[in-house]
Chains A and B, each alone.
Chain A
Amino acid sequence: MSAYIVRRMWQMIPTMLGVVLLVFVLFNWVGGDPAYVLAGKISNQEQIDNIRRQLGVDQPYWVQLGIFLKQIVTADFGASWSTNERVSHILLTRLGPSLTVLVPLTILSTLISIGLALAVAYVRGSLTDRMVMIVCTVGLSVSILVYIIVFQYVFAYKLGWFPVQGWGDSFIQNLFVYASLPILIGLVVSIAPDLRLYRTFVLDEINQDYVRTARAKGVSENRIMWIHVLRNASIPIITNLMAGLPSLLLGQFLIERFFSIPGIGREVILAVERSDFPVIKAITVYVAVATIFTNLLADLTYKAVDPRVQLK
């Protein structure tokens, strides 16, 4: 097992280097000279020159790459081009709010989706099943933007049940007051696709031979669904969940933006608008690294959950 982990870590290195290369090519090569980008945003010419020097814009590319690598390893990307805040500080402080929304959202969404998927699979083929699926399909086709706009307008602005936007200082206040509507919207948006997917996983299991054996043993349909099938369906569900974690962090960026929640997603949008390259580069690289590790974690979880798997 430990040999497997070590080998996987070893294999991760080329991928990480690849990501670094990708970001580098994008921002240093395609993006080019920041002076061009920053003209019009920063009026202070000295500041622009500083930035150019730090990046090593006039130096050959491999030197620039070296600078970039050093930045990654020391986690020091300098300062944001627009706010002058240290990039590392930005990342650290924004992580908290993102997680405050993300964690409860993921837990609730998964539990509800699994429960509904099992219930719907239980009555598969019936009118309820088809109705729910149609509702999901229609729900999926409405852009998240619309949900945000409408919910914000109706529940926060008109009915006043939630604050329209903002973020507080205390964790409890954040969790229950400011995060509620965002979480609600997040639920609505993520349950639809998850339900469809999990339903497929569950239905795949229901058609397996071992379900027939369980019936031949006299096991009740309820027990078959909640114990036999669920335990098997949990394998693809969990792996799917784990693989999707890193994108969740950013997937809520629209919500963060609209509700002015100071999280990583909102930071990314602001950075893109302002062409704030260091911030974007830093976030991209670290999120990619997190994804790679999460994938390894997903594989290990898969092994823990599925007795058939032999990791070599």
Chain B
Amino acid sequence: MATHAAALQERRPPVARKIPHTVSPRLWTLAWRRLRSDRVGMVSLVIVALFIVMMILSGAGLIASDWNREVGVNYAPPTFLGSEAAAGASAARSGLPETETVPQGAEYKSNVVDPIGDIIEKLKAGKGEAQPAAAPPGKSAAPATSESSDESVDPLASVMADIRAGKGVEAEAKPVERKATLPFGGDKWGRDVVKKTIKGSETSIFVGLASAVLATFLGTVFGAIAGYFGKWVDDAFNWFYSVFNSVPYLLLILAVAAVLQQKGIITVILILGLTGWTGVFRLLRAEYLKHKGREYVQAADAVGASNARRMFVHIFPNVSHVVLVQLSILVVGFIKAEVILSFLGFGVPVDVVSWGSMLNEAQNELILGKWWQLVAATVAMAVLVTAFSLFTDALRDALDPKLKGRAGA
């Protein structure tokens, strides 16, 4: 473009040109400027970007890759609560019935059936001893069983001794020492809550983004074709849409989850993406219908543009901002849906941590007064979703500012 302007100046006889040639701002440039001046929007964008960076780092294994390791004592309290808490925690833990250990995999399933019942069981069993629920960490005078906490959590101490003695027994590498407190506490098995939260954000954001992209793509393509061509094509798509729309969204997800026996991240993405396109479809169909009747599309028809050209070269740039906003909205919705799915056990498999599974565990822990996993997952999720929502609002305002009030002539 700039070279053409320059060439133009060369070929014409020199005439005093009073109009300086500046490249006109396109929609996206204007929108970016508006967004930049919106402080809330920019802050949200930065927060979202940070989360995405965290997701990439975590996915690449650069951080929190060892989330699964039991680095702390069970239910290790957060460091900032001090060592009193540590004592209280170990005491509380020692009051627990030992019979609760269950193999990791099946644990989730059985919890899910009757969570409260499980808790009530534990309470009944633990009633005779120190009441753990009544003792929030750091507050009560815990029984001064200050013996080393290592004892009961290191059943393989003897194995370690053997290894150190060079006997070369194949055993899981277990850290010899488990910390008494962790930066934001530990879960039931002493896994670092901070690392789990980071890893969980990776899951949620990745699932949220991927399914949103899938759903948006489907909805856009279907909506464009239906809205543009109309008549029987529109009828066919509308039938398809109303079938999917007649089944309430959550029910549809659960039904599909019930049927697909394999669990996995891809499954979750497919479930969410293949069922969540209806909103985008309806919107894009309406947009394409509206634009099809606009004069600039008729003019394109008059100059001979083909249907495909009109749909993608002419109309799409005029609706792309709608698509972007919808994508943003879907990401938020899918993150929340994934958390619920994982909570119920229908989401990501157990070897992948999600905020949903953290909340699941937190449910039981709360009764015992361990609140840190709940708070970590909740706060992380709230921050991400709030930032994303505010960013979506700012994005929408930047792309399509409506004049408030009337500034007529």
* Inter-chain contact A14/B260, CB cutoff 8 Å: no
* Inter-chain contact A37/B261, CB cutoff 8 Å: yes
- A18, A138, A150: the one within 8 Å of B240 (CB): A18
Q: A15-B243, A157-B367, A291-B246 are in contact. Are A145 and B116 (CB under 8 A)?
A: no
* Inter-chain contact A18/B359, CB cutoff 8 Å: no
Which residues of B lie under 8 Å from residue A145 when comparing CB positions? 339-340, 343, 356, 359
* Inter-chain contact A141/B385, CB cutoff 8 Å: yes
* Inter-chain contact A18/B243, CB cutoff 8 Å: yes
A83 within 8 A of B: no
Closest-by-CB residue of A relative to B366 is: A153
* Alpha-carbon distance A247/B261, docked complex (angstroms): 25
Closest-by-CB residue of A relative to B260 is: A30
Could you say which of A72-80, A91-99, A234-242, A250-258 contacts chain B? A250-258
- A18, A19, A251: the one within 8 Å of B250 (CB): A251
B248 within 8 A of A: yes
Which residues of B lie under 8 Å from residue A37 when comparing CB positions? 261
User: CB-defined interface of A279-312 with B at 8 Å, one 1/0 digit per residue?
Assistant: 0100110011101100100000000000000000
Residue of B243, B340, B382 with highest tally of chain A CB at under 10 A: B243
- B258, B261, B363, B381: the one within 8 Å of A277 (CB): B258
* Inter-chain contact B362/A247, CB cutoff 8 Å: no
* Inter-chain contact B367/A153, CB cutoff 8 Å: yes
* Alpha-carbon distance A292/B255, docked complex (angstroms): 19
Q: A137-B386, A153-B367 are in contact. Are A142 and B242 (CB under 8 A)?
A: no
A273 within 8 A of B: yes
Which residues of A lie under 8 Å from residue B340 when comparing CB positions? 143-145, 254
Shortest CB-to-CB span from B332 to chain A, Å, is: 8
Which residues of B lie under 8 Å from residue A27 when comparing CB positions? 255, 259
* Inter-chain contact A272/B258, CB cutoff 8 Å: yes
* Inter-chain contact B242/A18, CB cutoff 8 Å: yes
User: CB-defined interface of B370-409 with A at 8 Å, one 1/0 digit per residue?
Assistant: 0000100010011111100110010000000000111000
Interface size class of B (residues with CB under 8 A): 35 or more
User: CB-defined interface of B99-116 with A at 8 Å, one 1/0 digit per residue?
Assistant: 000000000010011011
User: CB-defined interface of A6-28 with B at 8 Å, one 1/0 digit per residue?
Assistant: 00000000111011011100110
Closest-by-CB residue of A relative to B251 is: A250
* Inter-chain contact B242/A268, CB cutoff 8 Å: no
* Alpha-carbon distance A260/B118, docked complex (angstroms): 13
* Alpha-carbon distance A271/B390, docked complex (angstroms): 37
Q: A19-B243, A149-B366, A153-B366 are in contact. Are A140 and B248 (CB under 8 A)?
A: no
* Inter-chain contact A273/B243, CB cutoff 8 Å: no
DSSP majority for the A interface? helix
* Inter-chain contact A26/B259, CB cutoff 8 Å: yes
Residue of B115, B255, B385 with highest tally of chain A CB at under 10 A: B255
Closest-by-CB residue of B relative to A254 is: B340
Q: A137-B390, A143-B339, A273-B345 are in contact. Are A284 and B261 (CB under 8 A)?
A: no
B179 within 8 A of A: no
* Inter-chain contact B251/A140, CB cutoff 8 Å: no
* Alpha-carbon distance A270/B247, docked complex (angstroms): 18
Which residues of A lie under 8 Å from residue B240 when comparing CB positions? 18
* Inter-chain contact A250/B250, CB cutoff 8 Å: yes
Which residues of A lie under 8 Å from residue B381 when comparing CB positions? 141-143
Q: A249-B248, A291-B248 are in contact. Are A272 and B378 (CB under 8 A)?
A: no
* Alpha-carbon distance A114/B244, docked complex (angstroms): 29
Q: A19-B246, A283-B251, A291-B246 are in contact. Are A146 and B374 (CB under 8 A)?
A: yes
Q: A18-B243, A291-B248 are in contact. Are A141 and B258 (CB under 8 A)?
A: no
A57 within 8 A of B: no
B344 within 8 A of A: yes
User: CB-defined interface of A258-277 with B at 8 Å, one 1/0 digit per residue?
Assistant: 10100000001111110101
Which residues of B lie under 8 Å from residue A254 when comparing CB positions? 340
* Alpha-carbon distance A11/B3, docked complex (angstroms): 59
Shortest CB-to-CB span from B247 to chain A, Å, is: 5
Q: A37-B261, A142-B381, A142-B382 are in contact. Are A269 and B344 (CB under 8 A)?
A: yes
User: CB-defined interface of B331-367 with A at 8 Å, one 1/0 digit per residue?
Assistant: 0100010011001111000000001100100110011
A165 within 8 A of B: yes
Which residues of A lie under 8 Å from residue B393 when comparing CB positions? 137
* Inter-chain contact A268/B251, CB cutoff 8 Å: yes
Closest-by-CB residue of A relative to B390 is: A137
* Alpha-carbon distance A18/B250, docked complex (angstroms): 19
Shortest CB-to-CB span from B244 to chain A, Å, is: 8
Which residues of B lie under 8 Å from residue A15 when comparing CB positions? 239, 242-243, 246
* Inter-chain contact B248/A246, CB cutoff 8 Å: yes
B325 within 8 A of A: no
Chain A residues at the B interface, C-beta cutoff of 8 Å: 14-16, 18-19, 21-23, 26-27, 30-31, 37, 137-138, 140-146, 149-150, 153, 157, 164-165, 207, 212, 246-247, 249-251, 253-254, 258, 260, 268-273, 275, 277, 280, 283-284, 287-289, 291-292, 295
Chain B residues at the A interface, C-beta cutoff of 8 Å: 109, 112-113, 115-116, 239-240, 242-252, 254-261, 332, 336, 339-340, 343-346, 355-356, 359, 362-363, 366-367, 374, 378, 381-386, 389-390, 393, 404-406
Q: List 6 A-B contacts (CB under 8 A).
A: A15-B239, A143-B378, A246-B248, A287-B247, A288-B246, A295-B246
